[in-house]
Amino acid sequence: MRRTGVFICWCGSNIAATVDIDLAVAAAKKMPGVVFADQNKYTCSEIGQEMIREAIRTHRLERVVVAACSPRMHENTFRKTVAAAGLNPYFLEIANIREQCSWVHKDKETATDKAIALIRTAVAKAARNEALFASELPIERRALVIGGGIAGIQAALDIAENGFVVDLVEKEPSIGGRMAQLDKTFPTLDCSACILTPKMVEVAQSEKITIFSYAEVEKVEGYVGNFTVTVRSRARSVDMGKCTGCGDCMLKCPVKVDSEFDLGLIKRRAIYTPFPQAVPNKPAIDRENCRWFTAGKCRVCEKVCPAGAIDYSQEDELRTEKYGAIVVATGFDPKKLDNYGEYAYGKHPDVLTSLEFERLLNASGPTGGKILRPSNGRPPKNVAFIQCVGSRDKAKGNPYCAKVCCMYTAKHAILLCEKVPGARPFVFYIDVRTPGKDYEEFYNRAYEEFGATYIKGNVSKVFPDGEKLLVRSVDALSGALVELEVDMVVLANSVDARAGAKELAQKLSITTNAYNFFNEAHPKLRPVETHTAGIFLAGTCQGPKDIPETVAQASAAAVKVAALLGKDSLLSNPTVAEVNEKLCTGDMSCLAVCPYGAISEKMLEERRGRETVRRKVAEVNMALCQGCGACTVACRPGAINLKGFTNEQIMAEVEAICL
């Protein structure tokens, strides 16, 4: 038996109100191996920790059991406490008598019985705890940022500022993302491009940052500090070294297709840059539409290119690089409106989405910045803005709030009044949500100063009525029916996770919520980390958010990356799986269930009598193993054990709890 000390915590009234602490202490004193037991109002306090250290010294304790809250909360605290008194930190065992006992029970007598059983279990396990030691892992001092929108740009800049090399991977031919599509930004009405493009240029000029545009992450392997990532750079058909970005090819290309950047409101060529301020400002050939690639003739761009930069023979390039940390910043997609036939989107040219309206506002957009009705090219007078299209709609959209629509619609209403004298915005809303610095004031201006009429009521249907559109709703405040004849309808469509987010999550071994937004490790206290160490989140790929929030999260992710890459080495978690090669039969059931790819085959050479035999056994990569324990369950001969949670320890716990 090991000389064990038991420390029972009241956690104020959290535990003490439901568990009779005196009884528990008395019971603990009688448990096998226990030479000391005491209680404390707050064991995690400095006084409580000192009690543990003092008892280790005076009672020569070899094992420590703290009966308190979940190990998620204070296991680290107490590991450090026992280490400070000279014990191996893994000689500590926690009995969770709060979350798993006092918080979920009402009857004091039975809760006390259960608490005592949990303590007995922990004491039995602690006696079999072995000293474990973390090993050191090297760190690759290079970061990967996936996604070149404002989140990725900000994260890359901040990581580079901290002195680390960054690779920025962007799917489109240019970085810039959604923010590049916006005209003005709320609540200050600065021009979006005016504040974004300096950052894009900064990225391009940074010696620490390399942009991989027109590229996507193909494969991710490895672990924190040592990821191995393969990036596919799609064939651009343009030699980036030779191209000067003069744009002659884009003028002469005979193929016109819908511009993705302008949401199909205008055409682009088959060889194109998405927008005038593109970074890198060098075009790519869209092979699906290029006449040379589809019909085998044309080659006009090659003829007009003064630099000889067109290269039809280019192929996709695969590049594998090691990274210490990854920031995911892949952004969002505006919700597709297939489910919303009642709003006549796609049936009448004057029904637009908010992002399409944004392009009408923009000087580089299809109308040169004039708000004109797509149907007749004339400015609209009455415009209906419909909020929550596909948001707060659990029946056929997203149940969540897209968070940005209230504010950008207020902005649209203001810009409409500024650009079209005499125009009248009508905003149909369910609630108006403006939490943010200067946001409420901005919204106030929309109706008070600019005269936007806010109507509390979801629009039921938009009826195309010749040139006009008839909007039917109710003003829920007054109870009056609303029937408006308008010239344009703008739909504030919801924020969806980016198409392909789920697949990327699988590549990265990170999780998503029900709507494919990436999960943070903790909604309040670890908002930029994922559950996979070394992978961080920034921007709307984690959930709808506006630009200030996105930039703040990107900078936060960058700090986390810098803190990680700034370390000399990483301490590995020593509670990993271990193979007993004598027992291992080499049937590799463990390999099949390991979610982290931490198990591989190994050939052993053994002397058996006079001959040497080769035998297959499993091997655990300690750096990859996350200590989940799936392999220990799958292993039929019981040859694989999780250190700190060995079969022997678990059985001792079972035995103790069954007493």
Partner 1 sequence: MKVTADKVNSSLVKEVEEISGQKVSACFQCGKCTGGCPVVSSMDIFPHLVLRFAQLGLLEELLHSKTLWICASCQTCDSRCPRDVDIPKVIEALRLLLLRRKGGNRLHPANLSDRVRADAPQQGLVSAFRKYAK
Q: How far apart are CA 411 and CA 380, in angstroms?
A: 17
Residue environment code for 514-538, b if the CB has 16+ CB neighbours within 10 A, otherwise e: eebbbbbbeeeeebbbbebbbbbbb
- Does 220 interact with partner 1 (rule: CB under 8 A)? no
Q: Enumerate residues 6+ apart whose C-beta is below 8 A from 194.
A: none
In the Cβ-directed half-sphere of 308, how many Cα atoms lie within 13 Å?
Answer: 0
Q: How far is CA 646 from CA 34, 129, 182, 578, 592, in A?
A: 22, 9, 56, 9, 20
Task: Candidates 242, 291, 456, 531: give the one binding partner 1 (CB under 8 A).
Answer: 456
Residue span binding partner 1 (CB under 8 A) among the ranges 119-127, 198-206, 328-336, 443-451: 443-451
**Identity of the residue, 448 or 611, whose beta carbon is nearer to partner 1 in the bound complex:** 448
**Residue carrying the six token digits 């029972």:** 8
Min CB(464)–partner 1 separation in Å? 17
Q: Which is nearer to partner 1, 468 or 507 (by Cβ)?
A: 468
By CB under 8 A, tell whether 465 contacts partner 1.
no
Q: How far is the CB of 387 from partner 1 (least distance, A)?
A: 15
Candidate ranges 63-71, 222-230, 470-478, 582-590; the one touching partner 1 (CB under 8 A) = 470-478
Q: What are phi and psi for residue 268, nearest 5 degrees?
A: -120, 175
Q: Which of 70, 230, 375, 453 binds partner 1 (CB under 8 A)?
A: 453
Which 93-122 positions form the footprint of partner 1 (CB under 8 A)? none
For 510, phi then psi, to 5°, come to -115, 165
For position 486 contacting partner 1 by CB under 8 A, the verdict is yes
Distances from the Cα of 247 to the Cαs of 198, 239, 297, in angstroms?
A: 21, 14, 21
Instruction: With contacts defined by CB under 8 A, name the span among 16-24, 313-321, 442-450, 651-659 that binds partner 1.
Output: 442-450
Alpha-carbon distance of 169 to 142, in angstroms, equals: 13
Q: b vs e for 443-474, b when ≥16 Cβ sit within 10 Å of the residue's Cβ? A: beebbeebebbbbbbbbeebebeeebbbbebb
Bond before 349 cis per omega within 30 degrees: no
Least spacing, CB of residue 482 vs partner 1, in Å: 4
Nearer to partner 1, 272 or 429 (CB): 429
The yes or no reply on residue 484 touching partner 1 (CB under 8 A) is: yes
Beta carbon nearer to partner 1, 485 or 587 = 485
Tokens of 520: 């943070």
The least CB distance from residue 480 to partner 1, in Å, is: 4
Q: Considering beta carbons, is residue 224 or 486 the nearer one to partner 1?
A: 486
Which of 424, 498, 545, 560 touches partner 1 (CB under 8 A)?
Answer: 424
Q: Which is nearer to partner 1, 259 or 473 (CB)?
A: 473
* Binding range to partner 1, per CB under 8 A, among 56-64, 389-397, 481-489, 614-622: 481-489
CA pair distance 275, 205, nearest whole angstrom: 19
CA distance 606 to 613: 5
Closer to partner 1 by Cβ: residue 115 or 416: 416
Contacts of 104 (CB under 8 A, 6+ apart): none
Q: Which of 261, 332, 426, 536 binds partner 1 (CB under 8 A)?
A: 426
DSSP 180-221: GG-SEETTTTEEHHHHHHHHHHHHHH-SSEEEE-SEEEEEEE
Is position 206 an interface residue for partner 1 (rule: CB under 8 A)?
no
Task: Using the minimum distance from each CB to partner 1, give the nearer residue, 201 or 477.
Answer: 477
> From CA 9, how far away is CA 12, in angstroms rounded?
8
Nearer Cβ to partner 1 (484/576):
484
By rule CB under 8 A, what count of residues binds partner 1?
Answer: 21
Answer yes or no whether residue 485 interacts with partner 1 by CB under 8 A.
yes
- The least CB distance from residue 453 to partner 1, in Å, is 6
What is the C-alpha separation between 332 and 347, in angstroms, rounded?
Answer: 25
Interface with partner 1 (CB under 8 A): 382, 424, 426, 444, 447-448, 451, 453, 455-456, 475, 477-486
